[in-house]
Structure 1
Amino acid sequence: MRVDLFDFELPPERIALRPARPRDSARMLVAQGKGNPAFADLTVRDLPAQLRRGDVLVFNDTKVIPAQLEGRRGEARIGATLHKRIDLRRWQAFVRNAKRLREGDLIQFPQDVAAIAEARHPDGSWTLAFTGEEPVEILLERAGTMPLPPYIAGKRPTDASDRSDYQTIFAREEGAVAAPTAALHFTPDLLAALDAAGIDRETLTLHVGAGTFLPVKADDTQEHRMHAEWGRIDSAMADRLNRVRANGGRVIAVGTTSLRLLESATGEDGVIRAFAGDTDIFITPGYRFRAIDGLMTNFHLPRSTLFMLVSALMGLETMQAAYTHAIAEGYRFYSYGDASLLLP
């Protein structure tokens, strides 16, 4: 499909620079039925009433690490955003001012943290090998900052509040460089309300990479290649989800990261299975969903793989209408923005 079909105009003032407070006070646009142009304007606190007893929400428990680093190679300033772990000391990273970098160069970061630019990849990213013996996670806590998306970081500096604002209440498994932002809306009070309504919940792990923010530069979706991300679903959870669907309940993914891993773990027979490894699944209109019955997600960038994904779920015309409605009604967009509940 042509990538320009997924373009739209977003006024800059619609980009949220801070999350709603409290988190579950964010607005939520509800779309039900593929091809249905009618939308409901609610808040995230209304979520329990929009679901049915026996449904299950699937969250991503990945934890964002302070993966943004600013350093120097000699006199040259070098910025690095780690996006995928290779092994204990090596990470793949997107590098700013990479033209000043050569293989074997040493990059000095603050707090005596250093890494060797080991190899350049075809996509322009680099393998960085951190020196010393301390765990890389400790080095990042010393020298790194939270890797806010470029559409926020370009408008204000990262500060201390982002350390908590950019983590979900489910965050446990360290390794993400971007938050699974749909789950940022959840609070203990909202979880208690979901429990009272008989809505179950499960967690999986997908370590979100910085590639999620990269624009699609190709003119046709067939020419785009996704960056791989590592994820895991255990067999016990897969069995529980299969039982939910067998009993008539719905599997609702909270966030596109949860959705992508669930779909990666599900066969053509519709059975969800244990999964551990990389996924680079790219979902565009025409895809047949096998694992999920709905999605809660934020509002996404134009021409992005995530807007393509929601268009595959609900239909391109429906999502174009939903986004037009959201812009007109003053919804807040992107990572710190409002939510949508999509029930095809």
Structure 2
Amino acid sequence: MKTNFSAKNVGYITAGIFLLFYIIGVYWSFSVDSFDVREEVTIAATSDNVVPVVGYTTTTTLIKVATSILDKPGGYISNDALPPGVFLDNMPAWEFGVLEMVRDMALVLRKDFSRSQSQSLENIHIQKAQPQFNIDNKSWAMPSAESEYRKAIESLNLYRNALVGLSKNKDDHAQFYARADNLTSYLDEVQKRLGSYSQRLSASVGKEKINTDLAGDNEARQSSYESNHSQVRTSWWKLDDVFYESRGAAWALLHFLKAIEIDFESVLKNKNATISLQQIIRELEASQQTLWSPMVLNGDGFGVLANHSLVMANYISRANAALIDLNELLRKG
């Protein structure tokens, strides 16, 4: 018996498929909840039957943050080549923001936190993990981004095991040095990242930028000429991408700073800088408030509509200003 599909039936099926993709896409786009850093450390330490040492908290948090972009609803979406993931842009932007902070932490862990002085040897596990986080975030071919990130996470697990003496190789030693100069190296990286996000978010309404690239140095030069004044404005199509990328970066940094508050407790107390760090954490927590609007609004100045990009820029700028003060305190305090 032959079944004839009318145009109406085809339309119903098509509409159903689109509705299904839409529902899945909305579910995959839900924000990832923050987690309790101390609780995660307790769970990991209990599972391994170890007592956390200096660096255990920061490493565990890095592992958890990196795992979050892989194991959230929908998994890692940035390199999806099929619907509905290929049609989503907010969550991939969020993933990239998180990934940028993961890369910064992995780099500083390799260069500074795991090394005592400039002449010390690199830890073999971090040496493997750090470049693996730098693969193209949109790579889906072999090797895929997910597979490289999971290899990096496995190397971080081996480093953490070596920190607490769980390594099967007796010659596998690892250290984490919670020193003021090491911490300032990380904060230097974060300052540049937050400064960039603040500028990009503020450009949502368009602004005239004064070129200060060579300010403060009469002998400074640059490779090509740039005008002293330029008009900067984020494309309307990129507003939500910049917003969610910044939100993802702030989410990751929030957890890293909470871990630093634990591992660098003695350093922060010695510099009387604990309150300064906690203030930065408060600003970043505010940046994670629920976005009730179905889209990122872009009101102009003091107009009727809100401008979510400027609100986010405010929190990130305040966090960055406090971060600069904290860095100076660590260096001179």
TM-score by shorter chain over 0.5: no
RCO (CA 8 Å, sep 6+): is it higher in 1 or 2? 1
Greater strand share, structure number: 1
- Name the TM-score, length of structure 1 as normaliser: 0.25
The structure with more radius of gyration: 2
- Name the TM-score, length of structure 2 as normaliser: 0.25
